[in-house]
Amino acid sequence: MSGSCASRALRERFETIRRAEIERLTKKLRGLSDDERRSVEAITLDMIHALVRVPERVLAAESSEPAAQALIRLFGL
């Protein structure tokens, strides 16, 4: 898996987790207004972007294959 594929897979993995957690917390989030729900969506998306930013930089480097393999193993990509 190339660095760009690993990066995309990592984002997808985190997004899947984010959506599952929001779904799991549906009862707790039920009382939120539409604006508040959009805020939750925006905040959690920003968190994913922040978490993936550093690995993406490493994967963009020329010697990204070891990093890609490490991410694949760590996150089960």
pTM over 0.85: no
Q: What is the pLDDT of residues 7-53, one digit of tens each?
A: 888 899 999 999 999 999 988 888 999 999 999 999 999 999 999 88
65-75 vs 3-24: helix crossing angle, rounded to 10: 20
What are the CA-CA distances from residue 58 to residues 3, 12, 25, 44 (Å)? 9, 18, 33, 23
